[in-house]
A and B are shown apart, each in its own frame.
Chain A
Amino acid sequence: MDFGYSLSKSSTMKIENLENSKFKALAKLEPDATKCIGCGCCTASCSAGVFADMSLRQILLSLQRDCQDKYLPMLQNCMLCGKCMLVCPRGINTRHLILSICKIYGIEQ
């Protein structure tokens, strides 16, 4: 039977069964991973962000929601300059966080 409707993939996030063992490992390696309040300072001041997309805030949130595939490649633009570390109001050790994300999730394309 065909009612003329076609199924498109739902854009709703299903977060009750999140696979977050990797995030747990990240939080163990760098406990600051859970401290973000999403103010966006890291993104706003990012040296690489002037030239390309780079938002640590988005990446971190995507890791918590286990939907990081689209966001992780942004890390390849990072110059590791540490400006985000200086502006972070929560005092997150962003440089080590970035390195730890790479270590656990791996971004090699």
Chain B
Amino acid sequence: MRERFLVGFDPFVLPFLCGMVFVLAYCLFYLVRILAQLSAEDRKKFFKSLLLPSNALKNIRDMFLDCLIHVKLWKRNPNLGYMHSSIAFGWFMLIVIGHIETFMYVPGKAGLFYYPIFFRYFMEVDNQELKGSLLFFLMDFFLLIVLSGILLAMIKRIWRRFFGMRRTTRLSITDHIGLYSLWAIFPLRWIAEGFTAGVAGGSFMTIPINMLLKNFMSNPENFNIAWWLYSIALGTFMFALPFSRYMHIPAEILLIPMKRAGLKVYHPRKGFALAQIYTCPSCGVCIDACPMSANKQNCKDTTVYLVRQLKRNNARRMNAMSNKCLMCGKCQEVCQIGLQSYDIRMNIRERARYNIQLKHNYLASYNPDIKQAKVLYYAGCMSSLTPVIGRSIKKLLSIAKVDYTQMDEGGGICCGRPLILAGKKAEAQAMIAKNTEIIKASGASILLVSCAICYRVFKNEYKLSGIRVMHYTEYFNELIKKGKLPITKGNVRYAYHDPCDLGRGCGIYDEPREALSFVGGLAHAEKERAMSVCCGGSIGSLTLNHEDRKPIVEASISNMLYSNPDYIVTACPLCQKTFSMYSPVEVLDFAQALCNGLQEKDVN
């Protein structure tokens, strides 16, 4: 093996070289920028976590599994997984082996960016040796892998269903440039290496193509054109990269350790959020997952498009999109890179201006007379519109002989979550403080909450040390398991709906199911637990109107009816009210379902 030219340079490498330098400079600039945008505390946290050896190992593992192999995509759909990992891992291997070759044969040129990439142009084989052939074989093998991935990518543009996707993202112009140049890179490489295969040697991919098109390929005039085209394709891709979705390739390397450091989003498009925005590959998995996109509506308001507007800093669209969102958290659950869309949207909402100074002065004069009891029950605003919930809960509590009292009989103070969801976190503090005061004064050891929306805020925003905040599904499940509730199992089948704030919001999936299994059978919904579909009534959405919500609700109901249940059961007054509007099957509250399982003699 020897060099073909004394000067290890040819002008055709320039497009690639410029592109490469540009990408590196751009990434470096943004790396510094993102790190600079972090608060001093976060930055310290980040570097500390980077240096921890166990974290470093985990980061490398994640980078390998997520960036190269795309394990999450494999789990989602094998075709989609193969397409991504063949391109990512194949290309990665081509680069790695290119470098190995350079190191082995021309260590002096290893410092040149372009040399390993255009190795076959600059090198010539004099006699085939085993080591060389093996490397050549590997190179051709990985080229084949990448080409197969590219072929699948082309198929994906026309046949999405094959990859388990109903809708994909509409690409922007730079995305298109990136996409087509990426598609062009590998076939051009194949042709270019096919040209040189006659002199520089090759393997099972490149030699046949050289032989097949001998007349054309042996013409040295065409020789350079092919290499030029290959380099231009690479250069184009590199120049398009920072402005297209392919920015996720370098960005993910930063995001993985940042996530491990446990950073929090504090601004919709700065610091940690910016790293996430760049890492979004625009795959569009969130479009299908979004409950708003039922009936093909609101697709343009899903997270992937929000990210695009964040990149463009389009304030009007950013606000509109974040205000429309149901805040159900599903897109975050399905997201391949774990984009924290919920936090990003909350940050956008917190920055919205409404020209109002809320004055909740009246809270000070509110001092309800609450009798001392072990369990303090907070029904929440919505529960007064669904009297069956309160009634069933009180019935169960008295049967179990629980010493309880209600905190908001006849109307209490809002838990504060609706205000937080409207971006008024500071204003919500007044309510949080007052409720905390009332709860602490009650002397209760358990705060029982029947509304999933309230529960989430009590759990996450309130500081109630010494008081156990329990959702009624948790509490009654415990009572049943302790044998305090004499219930029997009937032959009815319940389909349990996971309220967003309870399931994805607080991770409670098992308790309600376990409790329900004591009174009847469980009928599976098509999508449930972390994948459950928002009922459509969420107060998380500020701008979706009653009529806009109808298709969302109906789609969610049909998800619940997947295995023909006798009842739909939910554990949130809002879900119950929303479902009841359109459901052909009766919708029960969780406590109501438990009451149905009470043994007759205890009911009277």
Tell me whether B357 and A79 are in contact (CB under 8 A).
no
- Assuming A51-B362, A87-B385, A96-B542, is B357 touching A109 (CB within 8 A)? yes
- The reply to whether the CB of B422 lies closer than 8 angstroms to some CB of chain A is yes
Residue of A nearest to B364 (CB): A51
Tell me whether B539 and A95 are in contact (CB under 8 A).
yes
Tell me whether A81 and B381 are in contact (CB under 8 A).
yes
- Assuming A80-B424, A93-B544, is B356 touching A52 (CB within 8 A)? no
Tell me whether B413 and A52 are in contact (CB under 8 A).
no
- The reply to whether the CB of A15 lies closer than 8 angstroms to some CB of chain B is no
Chain A residues with Cβ below 8 Å from B40 are none
Tell me whether B418 and A80 are in contact (CB under 8 A).
yes
Residue of B nearest to A109 (CB): B357
Chain A residues with Cβ below 8 Å from B385 are 45, 83, 86-87
Tell me whether B414 and A108 are in contact (CB under 8 A).
no
Alpha-carbon gap, A96 to B412, bound state (A): 23
Tell me whether B539 and A106 are in contact (CB under 8 A).
no
Instruction: Give residues 508-553 of B contacting A (CB, 8 Å).
Output: 539, 542-547
Chain B residues with Cβ below 8 Å from A99 are 354, 422, 542
Tell me whether A108 and B381 are in contact (CB under 8 A).
no
Chain B residues with Cβ below 8 Å from A103 are 353-355
Top 4 A-B pairs ranked by shortest CB distance? A91-B546, A106-B355, A102-B356, A51-B362
A30-74 CB mask vs B (1 if < 8 Å, else 0) is: 111000000000000101101110000000000000000000000
Alpha-carbon gap, A82 to B454, bound state (A): 13
- The reply to whether the CB of B7 lies closer than 8 angstroms to some CB of chain A is no
B215-254 CB mask vs A (1 if < 8 Å, else 0) is: 0000000000000000000000000000000000000000
Q: How large is the interface on B (under 10, 10 to 19, 20 to 34, 35 or more residues)?
A: 35 or more
Chain A residues with Cβ below 8 Å from B382 are 82-83, 86
Chain A residues with Cβ below 8 Å from B577 are 86
Name the contact of B362 in the complex, choosing from A31, A52, A75, A109 (C-beta under 8 A). Answer: A52
Tell me whether B544 and A107 are in contact (CB under 8 A).
no
Tell me whether A50 and B411 are in contact (CB under 8 A).
yes
Instruction: Give residues 355-377 of B contacting A (CB, 8 Å).
Output: 355-360, 362-363, 365-366
- Assuming A77-B360, A87-B385, is B547 touching A47 (CB within 8 A)? no
Tell me whether A79 and B355 are in contact (CB under 8 A).
no
How close is B540's CB to chain A, nearest CB, in angstroms?
A: 10
Residue of A nearest to B411 (CB): A50
B419-442 CB mask vs A (1 if < 8 Å, else 0) is: 100101000000100000000000
Tell me whether A95 and B542 are in contact (CB under 8 A).
yes
Name the contact of A51 in the complex, choosing from B365, B424, B539 (C-beta under 8 A). Answer: B365
Chain B residues with Cβ below 8 Å from A77 are 358-360, 362
Chain B residues with Cβ below 8 Å from A86 are 382, 385, 574, 577
How close is A47's CB to chain B, nearest CB, in angstroms?
A: 5
- The reply to whether the CB of A20 lies closer than 8 angstroms to some CB of chain B is no
How close is A97's CB to chain B, nearest CB, in angstroms?
A: 10
- Assuming A79-B413, A81-B414, A103-B354, is B545 touching A93 (CB within 8 A)? yes
Chain B residues with Cβ below 8 Å from A30 are 543
Name the contact of A79 in the complex, choosing from B360, B542, B547, B574 (C-beta under 8 A). Answer: B360
Tell me whether A102 and B355 are in contact (CB under 8 A).
yes
Tell me whether A47 and B414 are in contact (CB under 8 A).
yes
Instruction: Give residues 6-41 of A contacting B (CB, 8 Å).
Output: 30-32
Alpha-carbon gap, A78 to B430, bound state (A): 12
Alpha-carbon gap, A105 to B577, bound state (A): 33
Tell me whether B356 and A106 are in contact (CB under 8 A).
yes
Tell me whether B414 and A96 are in contact (CB under 8 A).
no
- Assuming A79-B414, A86-B385, A95-B422, is B546 touching A107 (CB within 8 A)? no
Tell me whether A79 and B419 are in contact (CB under 8 A).
yes
Tell me whether A76 and B356 are in contact (CB under 8 A).
yes
Most chain A C-beta atoms within 10 Å of own C-beta, residue among B359, B365, B385, B431? B359
Alpha-carbon gap, A91 to B537, bound state (A): 12
Instruction: Give residues 321-367 of B contacting A (CB, 8 Å).
Output: 323, 353-360, 362-363, 365-366
Residue of B nearest to A50 (CB): B411
Tell me whether B355 and A107 are in contact (CB under 8 A).
yes
Could you list 10 further interchain pairs (A-B, Cβ under 8 angstroms) beyond the known A92-B546, A95-B542?
A47-B412, A50-B410, A78-B358, A81-B418, A82-B381, A83-B385, A86-B577, A93-B544, A99-B354, A102-B356
